[in-house]
Each structure stands twice: as C-alpha cells, then as structure tokens.
A and B are shown apart, each in its own frame.
Chain A
Amino acid sequence: MIETLQVVVLLLVAAGATGVVLIRSPVRQVVALSVYGLLLAVLFLVFQAPDVTLSELTVGAVILPILLLLALAKVREREK
C-alpha cells in the first residue's frame, strides 16, 4: 500500500524533472537542479533510506551547483 505522502512527493519529483529539462537558460537551470536535488532527498527519506538522503542532499545542493556555476562562468567569459 503506497502512502499518500509518497504519492505526493513522487508527483513533485516528476514535475521537478520536467521543469529542469524545459528551462533552456543554463544559469536558471542550475537553480532548478538544486531544488530538484532537494525534492529527491525528501523522496529518498520517505522511502526509508536516510543514508541515500544524506548523500543526495549534499551532492545535489552544494557540489553539483558549484561545479556547474564555475564551468558556466568560465564559458561565458570566453563568449564575450
């Protein structure tokens, strides 16, 4: 039996993934990706997996955005 909370978070995750892909500007997409990482972390917690939550939280909210933003800054400066 699937719980209501799990259904809600699953639908939010599906909507979040669609949102990340449909945004075309890379800088805005980084912010959307960060929010998507947070939603995924909540989903993993609701699926009774706290270890995976800890990993995804830090990776999705800190490490991936900083690598992406630095790469974007580097390529934007050369495009000028």
Chain B
Amino acid sequence: MSPAARRWVFLAAIAGLAAFYLWGLAGLPGFGHYPGPYGLIINKIAVAQTNATGVVSAVNFEYRGFDTVGEEFILFMAATGMSVVLRHLRGERERPGLERGIGADEPPTSDAVKQAALVFVGPVLLMGWWLASHAQTSPSGGFQGGVVLATAFILIYLSGGLLTFRRISPVTLTDAVEAVGAAGFAAVGLAAVLMGLPFLYNYLPLGIKPGAVSSSGTIALISFFVGVEVAAAFVLMVGEMLEQTLLVRGEAAT
C-alpha cells in the first residue's frame, strides 16, 4: 500500500473513532462534576479503616492490592524478557576489557557532567528511600521510590562509567534483589492465606496514630518490597542496554 493510500485509510479510520468518541462523550458529566460513588466513599472511610493518610497508596496496596500484584509481575516479566531478548546471537562476542579495568568503547565524558552527577547521587538515593518508605503518609509510595532509586544508579553510571556501574550493581545481585522484591510481595499476601484470611488481607497491627510511619499494617511493608523490586528491575534493564550498546560486537549470523 502506498504511503498516500495508507494516510487516507488512516484518516477515515480516525474520523470513525472520533465520531464514536464524541458520541460517548455526550453522555459523560462535564469535567469537574464528579458523580461516581467510589471516590467519595473511599475518601471518607480510608483513614479510619487503615490508619493511612495517603489514600492513593492505601487504594494501591490494600483496596486494590490484587491488581497491583499483577502489575508488578508485568514489570518483573518485562525486565526478564529484556534479558532474554538481548542474548548473544550466533556470531557475536563481547569485547574483553571490562574485567581488566579498561573502559568499554565509550566516548570521554566531560568533567562537568561527572561532577554534577556525583554530587546528586547521595540526595537522590536518600529521596528514593524516603519515598519508598513513606507510602502511607504523603504523596509517595513503592513505585515512585523505586524509579527514583533507579535514577541514583543511572547517575552513578554517568559519573563513573560502565565499570563503576557494574561493580556497584552486578547482575547476579540485582537479579536476586528483584526476585526478593517480587516474591516478598506475594509472600505477604500468601501469609494471610496461611492464616486463614483472604489473600492480601491487612493482618499486621494498624498502629495508633493515623499517618505515622509505622502504621497501616501491611501497606508499608508491601510498599517497601515494591520499591525494591521496581528499582532493581530498572537497574537491570538499563544495565542490559548499556552492555548491549557498549560491549557486544560482531556480526550476527542470520
């Protein structure tokens, strides 16, 4: 199909989609007139039921915890799948030199980038840890904390090069940490089943004061595991891409 014909077919299809969308839009209440009952109900009862003042994290890990298990395993499988897809094809070899301390085929980084990245590693690590452990009190949680922690490792790569990055996060250790994070979440849920309660029931003590860090039962624990798993998954993915770009050479036999 020629590009022009492709464009016309696309425009016809998108006109049809837009027509259906606008027809469905006519039945919605306007922007800002929120009708639905669930948001109002959850806002009223969440703090009393779970002692968590961060209602979004309470929804994520408690009211909707089963969905979050599924999403976390999508992340886990994406990271694993990337390692599998980027395996060495026949005819490729990896450049030696990483073990002998010679850097890979990297262009030299400017000193300004190295200094700036180095300065920010500590604060970003602290911020990521704070975010992952304060899910129940303020706008934070496992997923946000995990990606900020992964950013700290990327800054380590920017300031130190591939060698430092590999030394700080070797593949076996990152794999193990990611597995601990994913299994920990599932284990917290299964422990509830072993106690005769529904899966992912909140069985830990809820704490006295709503919004304290050691409150809200399993929400804080699950958020910690999720943070660790997300950080490890992204470090793994970036590490795989780095090795593929900088180290793997040779013609793949087709």
Contact = CB atoms under 8 A, between A and B. Distances in A.
Asked if chains A and B are in direct contact (CB within 8 A), the reply is: yes
Interface of A: 1-2, 50-51, 53-55, 58-59, 62-63, 66-67, 70-71, 73-74, 77
A51 B237 CA distance: 23
B148 interface: yes
Contacts of B154: 62-63, 66
Contacts of B242: 70
Interface string B183-220: 00000000000000000000000000000000000000
A51 B32 contact: no
B241 interface: yes
A66 B56 CA distance: 29
A71 B240 CA distance: 11
B225 interface: no
A58 B241 contact: no
Interface in B122-175: 131, 139-141, 143-144, 147-148, 150-151, 154
B245 A54 contact: no
B160 to A, nearest CB: 15
Given A2-B32, A54-B131, A70 B147 contact: no
B147 A67 contact: no
> A50, A54, A71 — which one has the most chain B CB atoms within 10 A of its CB?
A54
B21 interface: no
B245 A59 contact: no
Interface residues of B, number: 22
Contacts of A51: 56-57, 139-141, 144
23 contacts: A50-B139, A51-B57, A51-B140, A51-B141, A51-B144, A54-B131, A54-B139, A54-B144, A54-B148, A58-B147, A59-B147, A62-B147, A62-B151, A63-B147, A63-B150, A63-B234, A70-B238, A70-B245, A71-B245, A73-B245, A74-B241, A74-B245, A77-B245
A67 B139 contact: no
A70 B241 contact: yes
Interface of B: 31-32, 56-57, 131, 139-141, 143-144, 147-148, 150-151, 154, 234, 237-238, 241-242, 244-245
Nearest to A10: B31
B147 A55 contact: yes
B123 to A, nearest CB: 14
A55 B241 contact: no
Contacts of B150: 58, 63
B144 A58 contact: yes
Contacts of A70: 238, 241-242, 244-245
A66 B147 CA distance: 13
Given A53-B139, A54-B140, A74-B241, 7 more contacts: A51-B141, A54-B131, A54-B139, A63-B151, A67-B237, A70-B244, A77-B245
A77 B57 CA distance: 44
Contacts of B234: 63
